[in-house]
Structure 1
């Protein structure tokens, strides 16, 4: 067996001790319900999605939008297109006014027919260009269309040409199946949904009956191909005429034909220039689209995936159409996010899904998320549309609904956007529709849920996915105080959330439990925790509604009892109990629910827990403190479970000693009078308590002084003297520390709100217990410090616990009364 060297053992031991100390310090200094805290600091994350350093660097460098390459490409094409169209128009006018209008009779026969052919082909191309662009845009309305290039047919081999032509003539549904074979399951589901629609998809309309070649999606290709042929013919005819110069002979004195040659030169030159520019435009188009693959590169930069090519083509055609139909700069005003929002508001299912896919991709991208969410959040119509989509429950609309939910989950992560989402009428009802609860399910049926059944559910409809997204959106919305109230007021929403906290023994103990279900339980607990910890009157109402649900405590009890393998779930459940215990009625219900206090004690006293899980013990301690606070019923229940000796021992464990001391203080304060004998066991803790008082840690001092003030009441004069001797500490030393505490905390401190109160209580007991202590305190200047306390007392010192900045559980004795009592003992 290999043995580690002493040096290695020492380093390992040092690491464990330092880690333990770090965790202990962290829990000691962390804000809890025992300290007042601002509302912003009381929520998870104190806000909304803090940016990482990487995110900040992205914002600083202003990542350029990938679609700017497409709008620039469209601008350059439009310049060529408009130049060609302008030359063509000039040539048409020249031919009709000068040549055919003035020289039609004197033209040579060949010139007449060449000019006629050129005019017919080019005028048809020029005046039908806008319609051809419309067909191009229509061809991109189908999510299954993948064609783009104009010259692709010219470069295919004979076999490929034949296969392409054959595929065009095949029925659309067969072609659609072939294309979708290489796509994901979601696209396949969506196409099936499209086949069942009551309206024609614009790309599937057959222009002529029984002629599948003349489908809408193919018309643009036909027009492009014919335009290229017309341009090539124009170039050939014009070039041939310019080279041959066979314009006919002009006799001397024939004034009708003396300018014919120059006029024909100008016309053929214009025709050649116009056709050449058009072909140059097509060549530039194909070079960028086919060889430079500008669309593929933009799609890759946008992170759209294979299905995103349709969206990229549609965006390009729209930008190109704007440049051609209006100013050449109109296309530069387009951006992909605004384009996607326009598609989302369309009545076409294909356009809606296309827009949702674009927004989801950008919202999930670390590079484009901020800009996308900022634009989307300022568009009331787009957010309202996304919320409306959440209510769609047709199986074919699953991807659309999931995309909308994912976008909203990111949108709700920004505070300003979450407020905009919540104020939309019916927003929370729409989010609630994502939460699917099987009403026929029983507890035994839930216990038998396995990975296999969950997969089957997902194949039918992604209920677990939507449940998870719905809870995620609610969690982000609940970070705002006002939204918590709206969630509680939404009819039927709170019971749905509580229902998801149900996790039986079989699920919690299963090593192969479905991750999706465990995650759903965790999310539901997180939402309830945030609602239960809400401050003010809103929090009171929410805690009341949560505690009145008959399944809340039983579900949490199961998690505490069987959730050893899921400490995060246990901690969340315990924190919910701690928040609910702020209400008196909930405290009584908690104590009456069998097994909750017992399970909390088992967790709190559990030893050998991994260091990274000790936060569960700390949370259990806080819950026990709250349950025993001002509750005789719960205090008696804790005592009957024989916990005094264990609590006394726990005072020596750094990670749990604070809460152990608080629990003991509450037991000494609120237990019934017939429990006096059980409480006498607290006297054994006095030596440990005295050592804590003389420590330098103010938080430890606060709780130990508070415990000492209560525990010493269960000892006689002789017993207290023995305890001081066992601790090796004199009463003078304790008195000195108490006066130093009052001097140090001249004003109330939010981190230690009760330290002055507990100090005065202990000093009062010491002066009553032993007359000689009065002189010691008088010499130490206690009277002056007590007078300062009277002058500086504050409401912060009047409460046991806090809900944010609101004090709860007011002490029965005011600070003035305590100080006056101590002053009277000093003066007598």
Structure 2
């Protein structure tokens, strides 16, 4: 259950006043930061909400959009091919017009049979080539398209695999027919141009025939150059494979790249040759998402998923997706698809959205889409009953859980999104339910804990609402109890931090206390020896949670005091460099909020007075603050005689203590964010000392206490009015205001004088 076995040593260090029959675990401080306060941002001190930092180095690097992306090679290649094709088509059209209007129209009477035959053959084969060319591109695209009915010309006659073979055969046959036509055209044109035997044609007729044969020859040669250039770049230079490799699309990446190229080429041929430059792979993939067929949708999703996982292209890709509301709506819509065979579509869409939500500028855009939270919550289906007998479905369900939780974790970084998560019907219950998954799904449990932690750490009214709603889920505390009890140290850390944040809510605080074993578990962890910074951190988190549970809760104070030897152990660790801060907090709250009928059990705490008074004189910062606060509460359960004996045991003169208290007020002439209650505790201690012994009034007067009280009154802040803080928001206000305490102390000094 715990991260180390408890070790004990007998005997007491010199000057230790704790009972000799209590054995305190040995704890090894690891670093100087651990000895101060390993609880990080303590809820007993405010901390400002972190501002939006500058982009990380990785994000800055990914923001450098490359001017030449790999698909530009394809668009440039398609542009070159389109220029050649349009040139050949233009020459062919001109040759056809010249033959029909000039040669046959003006010189047909003197045209020899040989030239008439050659002219007819050339026109026929060029017509065949143009017809074949117009259909070849469509047949070439068929293997690049997924198995969708929209591209199955023989869907009723051939099986799924057969139509691809047929399309490849037909496209190659058409290509061969074009090559044969071009070669024939070159041969016939050259024969007539070399022979120059045009019979009875005059000079103008010969020129007309030469021009026709020249146009036909030029058209055929340009087409052959185009085909050669195509073959060299596609088959020899392997352009498509290289682009797929640059994008890291994997073994199946050649299919979308080939289709993208044909789309660009078709656009360049049918429209302006420059239109292809406007196309890019991201937009192409986005368009595929709107297809009616799953295969095409999956092709687009796979491309986008590869691009968002590629550091070189992730920024530009996410920027284009994030700027398209329709694309984000489509991705979110896909999360709801649950038909057989659509699991990969959901996984891909969830992966893309997780990357999209990880960018600050897109966090609000994702959550702002209508129905986004409900769609995302569909990823959190536990599947612990229906999919138990299907390992594949169980794996898919686990991956969807992880992605859904990751998206919510990233969305929770925004305050407004936390509110949306909390108000989405059934969503919090689903997240909490995943914290109770089996240990085989520890990744799911850990990530669900991370999401819950971010939600309960939210500030302001949103945080208050979330803590209330999460604590109302009946499985919350019991699930976390099992995690803290059986999980590894990382799981323990998350679980205890959640309990600590929930303890800020009055209702949740009582629920935690009422749940069996939680307080005992936290005490066991708090007193467990730690041999690393991480273990010490977990111990202190448990201690701070106990302090919060005892704060203003008589029931929880009773529950803590019922544990055997708990007071002796707390007194024993007041000298522990790691635990003494939170041990002092726990003891202070026990002394302050235990019911009157149970105060008898606190009488033994008086033995800690010498240790606490020594800390008041010697320590600084947080430890000084909690020591003064504890000393004040200890004084309230003792009398002046016991206080004087404690001073004597600690070897401290009363005048030294008074001087120290006055020096604290001088040092903290303004409220300090790190120790917000130190001036309050000092004034409370001074009030008790002056009320219990009139001679103390003179000592405080000697060191200028009256003037310092006036200064405190002028600098009082709301910062000093709260027990705990949620970020920069104060919670649990002190019943006595600082103004009241200052006025009380001032009145005592005036009456004493």
Q: TM-score, normalised by structure 2?
A: 0.91
| Alpha-carbon contact 2:82-2:268 (below 8 Å) kept | yes
Which of 422, 425, 428 matches 2:367? 422
* Paired residue secondary structure (1:651): helix
**Residue equivalent to 1:286:** 231
CA distance in structure 2 between the aligned counterparts of 1:27 and 1:34, rounded to whole angstroms: 13
CA distance in structure 1 between the aligned counterparts of 2:460 and 2:74, rounded to whole angstroms: 53
Which of 443, 448, 454 matches 1:530? 454
**Residue equivalent to 1:467:** 401
Matched, 1:248 2:248: no
**Residue equivalent to 2:422:** 488
User: 1:96 and 1:533, CA in 2 relative to 1: closer, same or farther beyond 3 A?
Assistant: same
Shift of 1:313: 0.9
Which of 711, 716, 741 matches 1:818? 741
The worse-fitting range, judged by mean Cα deviation, of 554-563 and 682-691 is 682-691
Which of 205, 222, 239 matches 2:154? 205
**Residue equivalent to 1:310:** 255
Matched, 1:601 2:523: yes
| Alpha-carbon contact 1:203-1:216 (below 8 Å) kept | no
CA distance in structure 2 between the aligned counterparts of 1:593 and 1:374, rounded to whole angstroms: 48
Matched, 1:629 2:633: no
User: 1:17 and 1:62, CA in 2 relative to 1: closer, same or farther beyond 3 A?
Assistant: farther
Matched, 1:226 2:177: yes
CA distance in structure 2 between the aligned counterparts of 1:209 and 1:724, rounded to whole angstroms: 100
Shift of 1:306: 1.0
**Residue equivalent to 1:776:** 699
Which of 466, 478, 496 matches 1:554? 478
**Residue equivalent to 2:621:** 698
**Residue equivalent to 1:731:** 654
CA distance in structure 2 between the aligned counterparts of 1:780 and 1:460, rounded to whole angstroms: 73
**Residue equivalent to 1:82:** 86
User: 1:770 and 1:461, CA in 2 relative to 1: closer, same or farther beyond 3 A?
Assistant: closer
User: 1:375 and 1:77, CA in 2 relative to 1: closer, same or farther beyond 3 A?
Assistant: same
* Paired residue secondary structure (2:724): strand
**Residue equivalent to 2:107:** 103
| Alpha-carbon contact 1:208-1:214 (below 8 Å) kept | no
Matched, 1:799 2:722: yes
| Alpha-carbon contact 1:139-1:218 (below 8 Å) kept | no
After TM superposition, the structure 1 = structure 2 runs for residues 358-507 of structure 1, keeping only pairs within 5 Å, are 358-438=303-383, 440=385, 456-458=390-392, 462-503=396-437, 507=439
| Alpha-carbon contact 1:88-1:123 (below 8 Å) kept | no
User: 1:748 and 1:310, CA in 2 relative to 1: closer, same or farther beyond 3 A?
Assistant: same
Shift of 1:129: 3.9
**Residue equivalent to 1:126:** 130
| Alpha-carbon contact 1:503-1:559 (below 8 Å) kept | no
CA distance in structure 1 between the aligned counterparts of 2:173 and 2:574, rounded to whole angstroms: 87
CA distance in structure 2 between the aligned counterparts of 1:575 and 1:371, rounded to whole angstroms: 37
**Deviation by residue 1:201-254 (Cα, 9 ceiling, x = unmatched):** 515635978996884455433322221221122122222222333x3333xxxx
| Alpha-carbon contact 1:206-1:216 (below 8 Å) kept | no
**Residue equivalent to 1:583:** 505
* Paired residue secondary structure (1:274): helix
User: Which structure 2 residue ranges, 5 or more long, are not aligned?
Assistant: 1-26
CA distance in structure 2 between the aligned counterparts of 1:576 and 1:355, rounded to whole angstroms: 40
**Residue equivalent to 1:32:** 42
Q: Aligned residues, how many? A: 722
**Residue equivalent to 1:6:** none
| Alpha-carbon contact 1:202-1:216 (below 8 Å) kept | no
Shift of 1:532: 1.8
**Deviation by residue 1:374-395 (Cα, 9 ceiling, x = unmatched):** 1111111000000110011123
CA distance in structure 2 between the aligned counterparts of 1:267 and 1:220, rounded to whole angstroms: 30
Which of 587, 597, 605 matches 1:682? 605
**Residue equivalent to 2:22:** none
User: Which structure 1 residue ranges, 5 or more long, are not aligned?
Assistant: 1-15, 143-193, 251-255, 442-452, 508-513
| Alpha-carbon contact 1:783-1:823 (below 8 Å) kept | yes
| Alpha-carbon contact 2:28-2:531 (below 8 Å) kept | no
| Alpha-carbon contact 1:206-1:215 (below 8 Å) kept | no
**Residue equivalent to 1:141:** 145
CA distance in structure 2 between the aligned counterparts of 1:539 and 1:674, rounded to whole angstroms: 35
The worse-fitting range, judged by mean Cα deviation, of 715-724 and 275-284 is 715-724
Shift of 1:341: 0.9
CA distance in structure 2 between the aligned counterparts of 1:438 and 1:258, rounded to whole angstroms: 89
Tell which has more relative contact order, 1 or 2 (C-alpha 8 A, sep 6+): 2
CA distance in structure 1 between the aligned counterparts of 2:300 and 2:729, rounded to whole angstroms: 46
| Alpha-carbon contact 2:65-2:315 (below 8 Å) kept | no
| Alpha-carbon contact 1:574-1:619 (below 8 Å) kept | yes
User: 1:606 and 1:278, CA in 2 relative to 1: closer, same or farther beyond 3 A?
Assistant: same
**Residue equivalent to 2:5:** none
User: 1:213 and 1:719, CA in 2 relative to 1: closer, same or farther beyond 3 A?
Assistant: closer
